[in-house]
Amino acid sequence: MDYTTLMMTCRRCDECPLHETRKRVVFHRGNSDTDVMYIGGAPTEEDEQNGECFSGKDGQLLQRAMDSLGIETGDVLMTNILKCRPPGGAFPGDKKSKFEADPTAGHCSRTWLDEQVEAVSPKAMVLFGPAAAQWALYRGRDDMPKRFGDVVSRCYQRKDLWPGVKRIYVTWHPSHLLRGAPGVNNQLDSVMGAISKAKDYADALRANKKGPTGKTIVPKQVVTVITKPSAPMIGSSCDQ
Ligand code: SF4
């Protein structure tokens, strides 16, 4: 299915209970013809009003970080695990959510997100926040870790991540930074580190696809968590 058809089809989706409370489906923001995807958890109220992901205060913060690195909106494709805003903004499974960890909520990642990734075919991906990391890397499994740190340390168990995505960076969600938690400057540096690395990797891959022997380099997929500015918390290699 081509990207536009996918988006139009998703806008009619009624596969999970969130379709009853949404005002509109929020599919993306940015450029589908890109090598870099950013993925968050769920649309905010502002996103729902504007019809675009990352269009509220968290998106403005992200945009400032992107501007400072010379990354334009058209350089990336931003989306969320869920395409419909959960009531109260709480992700299914979250303590504040009216929805329990509803298995049907996983439909969004198993179908729309997978199809979206397939249509965009990115080389690098940034997962913002634990919800995106958990649901992107563990959806449909019974052993989804509760702790953020366990998400990546156990990723070697996963053999069916998107094979074309060679670098996956997991970092703070921009909305987390808006809460003014201690260490917020370090967290901003971490977000900037993740989006900068994703850009650099995609740029390098485009510029030099040949290894020393003249053959195209096919790197293994690597998932890296960046929650501290200078020292990635965990780096993990996932064989495909
Ligand atoms: S959240 Fe996803 S699966 Fe649920 S209705 Fe919306 S588009 Fe469909």
pLDDT for 45-68, tens place per residue? 999 999 999 999 999 999 999 999
| pLDDT-based confidence at residue 213 (cuts at 50, 70, 90) | low
SS3 114: helix
> 46 C-alpha to center of ligand 1: Å?
18
Residue 146 is predicted with a pLDDT of 67
The C-alpha atoms of residue 48 and residue 26 are separated, in whole angstroms, by 6
Name the CATH topology of 3-206+217-238: Uracil-DNA Glycosylase, subunit E (3.40.470)
In 3D space, the residue among 76, 82, 61 whose CA is nearest the CA of residue 123 turns out to be 76
What does pTM read for this prediction? 0.87
Whether the pLDDT of residue 90 is over 90: the answer is: no
Q: Which residue has the higher pLDDT, 82 or 207?
A: 82
pLDDT band at 111 (very low <50, low <70, confident <90, very high): confident
Q: Is the CB of 107 under 6 A from ligand 1?
A: yes
Indicate which residue's Cα is closest to atom 2 of ligand 1: 108
Assigned token pair, 49: 């009003």
For the chain, which residues make up each domain, given as ranges?
Answer: 3-206+217-238
Contact 119/2 with Cβ under 8 angstroms?
A: yes
Does ligand 1 have an atom closer than 6 angstroms to the CB of 222? Answer: no
Q: Are 157 and 193 in contact (CB under 8 A)?
A: no
- pLDDT tens digits for 165-209? 888 888 889 988 887 777 777 788 889 999 999 999 999 888 876
Q: Is the pLDDT of residue 214 over 90?
A: no
Confidence of residue 97 (pLDDT cuts 50, 70, 90): low
pLDDT score for 234: 40
pLDDT of residue 76: 98
pLDDT the model gives residue 59: 95
Ligand 1 centroid–CA 14 distance in Å is 6
The Cα diameter of the chain in Å comes to: 56
Q: What is the DSSP string of 121-190?
A: --SEEEEEHHHHHHHHHHTT-TT--SSHHHHHHTGGG---S-TT--EEEEE--HHHHHTT-TTHHHHHHH
Ligand 1 contact, 19 CB (< 6 A): yes
Cβ count near 210 (within 10 Å)? 9
18 lines ligand 1 (CB under 6 A): yes
Given a cut of 50, is residue 232 above it in pLDDT? no
Q: How many helices (H) and strands (E) does the chain have?
A: 9, 7
Position in ligand 1 atom list of the atom nearest CA 13: 8
- Tell me the Cα Rg of the chain: 17
- The Cα 208–Cα 26 span in angstroms is 35
Q: From the CA of 74, how far away is ligand 1's center (Å)?
A: 25
| Contact of 119 with 31, CB cutoff 8 Å | no
